[in-house]
Each structure stands twice: as C-alpha cells, then as structure tokens.
Structure 1
Amino acid sequence: MKEANAKRILFLTTLDVTIYSFLIPHMKILKSMGYEVEVAASNVGFTDKIEKEGFKVYNLPFRRNPFSISNIKAFLKLYRIMKENNYLMLHTHTPVASFFGRIAGRLVGIPHIVYTAHGFHFHEYGNPLKNFIYYRLEKFAGKFTDVLITINVDDYKVATEKKLIPHGKVVYIKGVGVDLERLNPRNFKDNKESDFLSDNNRFIFVSVGRLEKEKHFDYLIKAFYFVKKHYPNFELLVIGDGEEQVSLKKLSQRISLKDYVRFLGYVKHVEKYLYHSFAFVFTSSREGLPVSVMEAMAMEKPVVAYNIRGVRDLVEDGVNGFLVPFGDIKELSNKIIYLMEHPDIAKEMGKRGREKIEKEFSLNVVLQDMEKLYKKVLEET
C-alpha cells in the first residue's frame, strides 16, 4: 500500500449541490492550512462552480436512493480514485456517499476518515422498519469511521450512548454555519423592491424546503386553513421544488387557499423574501440542523415549528418562536394566530433569534470550531 499523500484531502458527498451550498468555506480552511482539497460527488449542475472556486471535482454516479445500482458503480469508481491519490483524510457528508465512502476509505487505508452526519435517517417520528435499517447501516459504517461530527444534541446523545463509532470519537459542532453578512436585515433597509408582495397589508409567511413527504407541507397548508377562519389577511410563500408540488397545489385549491398560497419553486437567495415576511413556519419531521430555520432567524423572523430534533436546538419555545408537538395542526395555527395578534412580541422574538444565531451558529463560530478539529485530526499519527 502506498504511503498517504501528506497534503491531499477528499471531500465526498452524494450530490455536488451540497458541496457548493454549504462546504466551500470548510474546504477553504484546509486550503489555507496548506492542504490540497478535492471533491467527489454526482454532478447535478454545480461542478463547474466548485471548480471555479479552485477545487478539482471527480464525478461519481451516486444517487440519493440507497438501493440504486448506480451507487455500486460509484463505489467502484471512488475506490479507484482513492487508491490512485492516496489521500491523508476523507471527509464525508450525506448518507449514501458516506456509507460507501467510509468503507472504500478504510479498504484503501486512508489514515483519517471523518463523517458529518447531517441528521441520522432514523429518528423519533420515522417508520420503525426504516429506522431499524438506517440504524444498522450507521452502526456498520461506524466501524470504518475515526471521527463522527454530529450537528445537533439529539444525534450526539444517540451516537455516544449507542457507541456508533466503536473505534473513534464523536464530536458536536453546530452545523455548517450561517453567513451573517449575507443574511442581515440591515442590508435591505434601502431596498424598496417588493414586487412579489400582492398586498402590503397582508401578513407574509414563508416556509422553505424540498417539497417531499417528510417536510409535511400538507400540515402547513392545513394549518393556514384554520388561520384563514380568523384572519384572512395573509399570504403564504412556499419556497422549494419537489415531487409533492402538484398534490400540494391541489390541496390548497381543495380547501379554498388557492389565492393565499404561492409556490415559488427553487429560489437561490431567500433573504429578500424573508426580509419582507412576518414569520417563518416549519413543519418537517426529520432534520439535522435546518439551514432554512437558521436563515429565518438570522433575518430576525420568529419561527413556528414542530418540536423535532435539530429544530429544538435553534428555537426556544416562547423566546424566539414557538415549538408545537409534531403533527398538531390546530396548535400550529394557534401559534401563528397568536403572532398575528401580537406583532410587537413577534418582532422581539425575531431579534432574539438573530442574537442566538450570532452567538452560537454563525459561519465564523462554526469555522473556528472546524479549524480546531481539523488541526487535531491531522496532527494525529
């Protein structure tokens, strides 16, 4: 076996969008430390942008569906890449790539294998059979992991209590970091653009995420059905694409919310919508540490959300928003109505939300923690 290259590191994700959206600053830390950082991921349209940032990208045919035969092909290609380049460290993200990548990394003898779990796929509201399968997969892949980074308190507790990393260690770092310079309501003080608002007298609510079943946008829309009975002066902006869009549009029509709910699709920069909004509502059942919630808090918006893993790390009930028992649609609407009736309280909650992000979850804070971790890992022999 060849000796590891003392300066070469590989970042691995299932899709390249994860790298481009969240991990460029992390890779730049390692680059500033003198390491050569490369990327392996499936190209879904962001590879050129990553390479413009100065990082070589290997295209792998990974798919998010863990049972896709394409993942075996990606594994074999990844194994060859790893063997040829003799990396000093592998840092994996996202479940599929991380499962195959850690196995391949150990087979070729990469000295340091780091895995960031952006929310385990087994969770408190998950299907029992799927939870069992995902747990066993994580337990198996944990044997090939030196450092597991968890991004919320619940996952940290599970990983340590269940000894998911039997031969390594578990650390807790608060997410990927929020860019407070980009997400700053002060940037919009002189911005009069509000062409997406149909009526400035309406309460504008925003929700962001992939339109898939686990995000439960159907609960969100049903909650606003109850809101409408009390206060019909609102507009709900749903930002994101996904397979549930058609059914969600039909639902909004069926319960007479067609004129109240706007589906905006994918939006690159959500900050202008957040700036003009009144509050942020979030109905997901599974998260690691939701970036969309952190972005809303950074833009000084109160958050009404279900009390789930990751979200409760961010939202303090009654302080910077409200936490509602998962699946309780009526209580979700009650909290939304409360904010509409108490706009001063809503505004104060929004300010507290940004303060929490500044103190604990900003990009600067997270990058400092990551730099310390990288130095500690790479200094080990």
Structure 2
Amino acid sequence: MRLLHCIFSFNVGGAETMLIDIINQQVQIHEVGLCIINNAYDINLINKINKKCKVILLNRKESSKNLWNVVKLNKIIYSFHPNIIHCHNSHIIKYIFLHKFYKTFLTVHDTRLPLICAKYYDHIIAISQAVKDDLCKHNIKNVSIVHNGIETHKILHKNSSSLDKIQCKIVQVSRLEHLKKGQHFLIEALNLLVKEKKTIPIKISIDFIGIGSSETYLKKLMSKYNLNDSIHFLGLKDREYIYSHLKNYDMLVQPSLNEGFGLTVAEGMVAGIPVLVSDIEGPMEVIESGKYGFTFECGNVFSLAQQIKYIIEHPNEANNIAIQAQKFATRNYDISNMVENYDQIYIL
C-alpha cells in the first residue's frame, strides 16, 4: 500500500510528533510519503522521520493564493501515485483536483475545528468519542474512532511508591494558550493552596513545559501572586526530555477548557504519576471517567485546588490509581494499536 500523509505545517506539537511515530511504524510494511505544504517546519522533527519515508517540502508561503502551489501539490500527488491520501487538516482536500480518484482520509485532532471541507473525504478518523460527537453535530458521517497513540516503551517509570512527603512537584505540558489549555486556573489554584499552607505543610511547585502566546500573561499572573519561587517556565522541551523527566513529578495536571483527547495525560499515566484533569469530554475519556485519574470541575479554581490537596493528602490512593492507570494506558494507548486500527480502516 502506498500512503501519502499531507499536512500544512510541521512544527513542534502533539499532532506532528505523533505523526512521526505513525509514519515510522507504517514504513515497516507500507510505502509512505509525507507532504508538508507550507514553509513552516522544524528540521529537527523531520530528521526524526525514518529515511524510508519520502518527505516532500512544497514550501508554500502560509496563506498564499498562488495557484502554482496548487499545481505543484497535484504534481507531487500524481508522481507519488498513492492508494491512500491521509490529510491532517480538512482544508487540504480542496486543493487536490482529482481527489475522487483516490481514497481520502482525514484525521480530526480536536473539537471545535472548522470542518467545512470534511464532507469531501471518504472517511473521517476522530481521535476520541468527544471528537466524533462534535463531528456528528455537523452532520458528518463515515466517522471511526482511533485513539491517539504513544511509544509507551520510551517513557521512563516513576519508582517511588507514593507522593514525596516534603514537596509536591506538579507538571503541566502543553502550548501556553490559557484560553484553551487553562494554565491560569492552575496558577490561581496554587495561590489558594499557598494561603492554606498551615493545613498543607509541604511545598508545592509547578513546572510549565511549553511555549505560546500566553507566556507573558501567565508570568504576570505568577508575579501578581508572588509565586515566582514556586512556578517555573521550562520552555519548549523535546519529547525525549519529557519522556525521561515525567517520572520526577508527583502529579500531572491538565486544566484545559476544551481538548479533543489529551495525549500528555496518557503520557503521564504511562509514567506512573497521578493525573488530574478538568471534567471535559476528551481527557475524561482518556482516564475512563475518573477510573484512572482524578478530575475537577472545568474552570473552577476552588475545585482544582481541592483536588490537588486531596491527592497530596491521600498518597496511597493516588499511587494505587496511578499503578492501574499505567497498566491501562500502556495497554490501550500504545502507538502500535493506533497504526493497526488505521490499517483496518484503510481497507474498508
């Protein structure tokens, strides 16, 4: 089978890094190509793709309306002669002249995305039930669910049997976009907990891993509450760093306002640390509605603070849930499961 993945940009992000894993698995049994349409890509990410994959850089200027780019894209597709065209943005298909002569697939990576072109694909792959439900609201059919996957064997496991009794180190991994990812709620919750230091005798710290447009705002919020000694912005870190350091934390918190899945939640589970997520559809699906993690009311700072406090005060319960979550995530969210499910959908 000849598979051609098409994506607009290829900078550091969950969808891009996961696509690397998918391609590196698929090249073992298929002929695979990757077409990056825009001139927005990270060469370090590209270098992580197996050399068996043909990487094609169209180098279109973002938002360009130059028709020559469309012609070049179609020449690339014709030259590669794929059986399957797998897109990772719904708008790509409108630039493919003869898309009806190929089997076309679209992976939808989040809720609330513009999906005006989704109806032109032969099949849609939703990364979660939450995403599928969102698609159904737009009357989009032919949808299958394939959960995101990770290379679980690369994530180092936490060794300690319970939370540190001297300090609690919290990690949050995502783009710094507080209106979507909700990092400001976590800062405000820490402020509430610091005020309760008489009832919580251990030091609580937060490491934010990621970059984004909200970094200045979040740092100002941190300073406003005098939390500079307790909060650290570590910037952008590659996956190898994250996979080797998750085990050093006592808790992963994902306070998102909307989230299609929550890959970092699954990674925290595999590392064996307790995870705490807002009670929205995607992350709740990852932790099986609270069976394999803790939840708080989305957007409720007091609820978030109380749940952090609960996890700290109940280390044995948190550890037991984390152990079960590790087994569940390793079994269900490994990248091999995702690739196998893709193959089954391709031949439908």
Q: Same fold (TM over 0.5)?
A: yes
Shift of 1:316: 4.0
**Alpha-carbon offset, residue 162 of structure 1:** 4.1
- 1:15 pairs with one of 9, 32, 35: 9
**Within-5 A mapping of 1:37-116:** 37-41=33-37, 42-46=40-44, 48-50=46-48, 53-61=51-59, 69-70=63-64, 75=70, 77-93=72-88, 98-105=89-96, 107-116=98-107
Contact 1:61-1:71 within 8 A present in 2 as well: no
Instruction: Return the letter of the residue paired with 1:81.
Output: I
Deviations 1:262-303 (Å, cap 9, x if unpaired)? 111111121333211111111112222111111101111111
Conservation of the 8 A alpha-carbon contact between 2:33 and 2:55? no
Q: Secondary structure of 1:16's partner?
A: coil
How far is the alpha carbon of 1:371 from its aligned partner?
2.6
Q: CA deviation at 1:26?
A: 2.5
Aligned partners of 1:9 and 1:89 also within 8 Å = yes
What is the one-letter code of the residue matched to 2:10? D
Q: Name 1:27's counterpart in structure 2.
A: 23
Where does the alignment leave 5 or more consecutive residues of structure 2 unmatched? none
Does residue 1:172 correspond to 2:138, yes or no? no
Residues 344 and 332 (structure 1 numbering): CA distance in 2 closer, same or farther, change over 3 Å? Answer: same
> Percent identity over the alignment?
21
Per-residue deviation, residues 304-326 of structure 1 (Å, max 9, x unmatched): 11111310111245532222221
How far does the alpha carbon of each residue in 1:160-196 deviate from its partner, in whole angstroms, 9 at most, with x for none?
464314xxx2111111x1212111416x78xxxxxxx
**For the residues of structure 1 that align with 2:60 and 2:283, how far apart are their CA atoms?**
28
Deviations 1:124-153 (A, max 9, x none): xxxxxxxxxx3xxx1x31231011001111
Whether contact under 8 Å (1:75, 1:100) holds in the other structure is no
User: Residues of 2 paired with 1:51 and 1:336: CA distance?
Assistant: 38
The whole-number CA distance in structure 1 between the counterparts of 2:90 and 2:254 is 29
Deviation string for 1:95-152 (max 9, x for gaps)?
xxx2332222354544110101011335xxxxxxxxxxx3xxx1x3123101100111
| Residues in 2 aligned to 1:219 and 1:76: alpha-carbon distance in whole angstroms | 47
CA contact (8 A) 1:211 1:245 kept: yes
Distance 1:78 1:365, change over 3 A: same
Does residue 1:151 correspond to 2:131, yes or no?
Answer: no
SS of residue in 1 equivalent to 2:281: coil
Which residue matches 2:309? 337
Alignment partners' CA distance in 1, 2:294 and 2:30: 44
Q: What residue is the counterpart of 1:326 in the other structure? A: 298
CA drift at 1:245:
1.2
Distance 1:265 1:47, change over 3 A: closer
Deviations 1:38-69 (A, max 9, x none): 33244233464056533222224568xxxx63
In the alignment, the residues of structure 1 paired with residue 51 and residue 155 of structure 2 have an alpha-carbon distance, to the nearest angstrom, of: 21
Q: Given that residues 125 and 144 in structure 2 are in contact (C-alpha distance below 8 angstroms), is that contact kept between their aligned partners in structure 1?
A: yes
When residues 53 and 228 of structure 1 are mapped into structure 2, their CA distance, relative to the original with a 3 A threshold, is farther
Equivalence for 2:222: 252
The CA distance in 2 between the partners of 1:288 and 1:325, in whole Å, is 17
1:32 aligned counterpart, secondary structure: coil
TM-score normalised by length of structure 1: 0.79
CA distance in 2, matches of 1:85, 1:49: 21
Helix, strand or coil at the partner of 1:287: coil
Cα deviation for residue 369 of structure 1 reads: 1.7
Q: Give me the whole-angstrom Cα distance separating, in 1, the residues matched to 2:218 and 2:137.
A: 39
2:21–2:150 Cα contact (<8 Å) kept: no
Structure with higher RCO (Cα < 8 A, 6+ apart): 2
1:206 matched residue in structure 2: 171
Equivalent pair of 2:106/2:118 in contact (CA under 8 Å): no
Amino acid at match of 1:91: H
Counterpart Cα distance in 1 of 2:82 and 2:243: 38
Q: 1:270 to 1:62 in 2, by over 3 A?
A: farther
Count of equivalent residues: 333
Change (3 A) 1:60 1:121: farther
- TM-score (norm: length of structure 2): 0.86
| 3-state SS of paired residue (2:166) | coil
- C-alpha separation between the residues in 1 aligned to 2:10 and 2:30? 23
Contact 1:102–1:144 (8 Å) recurs in 2: yes
Shift of 1:76: 5.2
- Deviation of 1:83 (Å): 4.1
**RMSD over aligned Cα, in angstroms?**
2.6
**Residue 287 of structure 2 corresponds to which residue in structure 1?**
315
